[in-house]
Amino acid sequence: MNKKIYGLFKANKAAFAGFIIFAALTSCSKSNEEITAETQANALNIESIQKGQLNGQAITYIKKDGKNFFQGDIVLTDQQLAGDNSANKGGATLSRWPGGKIYYTVASNMGSINANKITSAVSEYNTKTNVQWIPRTNQTNYVQFIFGSSSGADGWANIGYQGGKQTISLDQYISVGSVIHEMGHAVGLYHEHARKDRDQYVSIQWNNIQDGQAYNFNIYNSGTDIGVFNINSVMMYWPNSYSKNGQPTIKRADNTNFTYNRNGFTTGDINTINAMYP
């Protein structure tokens, strides 16, 4: 044991013991209702790997903060995981938005920088695809953009049309391209690397994936692949997603590296969305 750490521990042993007694007394003074509430709150913050069904396919997902995270940033509802809804899935998802119209609101704490990113992303959809993002007035079925982490650069979203209020979460430093990506999930798009034909085009470097994260690279068989595989799709994973050693987790099928920049739509992305929403 490090001597300095041991010395500090020894010097504070009595104080530590006193703290334990205080904590025990404090805990004993709490009501059963308070203890139960704390236990439930703490349980929500624990990540746990779960098994479930999505469109009849067995999947693995993470339960965190009371939400069901699939492939990292797709949040599934309990209803989606409850049974086989394959009869209702649109092009690549459970359901499409009626008329290709998606009404949305932006949380008041989003901040002007991310609000501007949302405006840019909305413009990309409205000018290049058949899907139209429209500011909400009083519609009951809509997407709310909420603010996520003040230090992160990621996001997450519900997938496809669910009805009622749905959510897209955006961190402070997320790029416009990644905002488009999260909006793509709301439109109904899964990740490109999960297509059924992906092994013809890319090679998953399983040995470079972080321990316990390999399930994020499983093929999703129950979706509908539209068009040809697009390695530059805005819905593609990064080449080093979930890397444990800085090495690529995805390469081209010929085992060469690819450079990927998530700047916005490719022609393939636009064609896919328009095939889903003709």
Q: Which residues are annotated as a binding site?
A: 181, 185, 191
- Residues flagged as binding site for Zn(2+): 181, 185, 191
Catalytic option among 34, 38, 124, 182 = 182
Q: Which residues of 204-228 are buried (b: 16+ CB within 10 A; e: fewer)?
A: bbeebbeeeeeebbeebebbbbbee
CB-based contact 24:54 (threshold 8 Å): no
Closest CA relative to residue 142, chosen from 125, 118, 123, 158 = 158
Q: How many CB atoms lie within 10 A of CB 32?
A: 7
Separation CA 75–CA 146 (nearest Å): 14
Which residue's structure tokens are 């690397």?
A: 193
- Rounded Cα distance between 186 and 169, Å, is 11
124 as an active site residue: the answer is: no
- Tell me the catalytic residues: 182
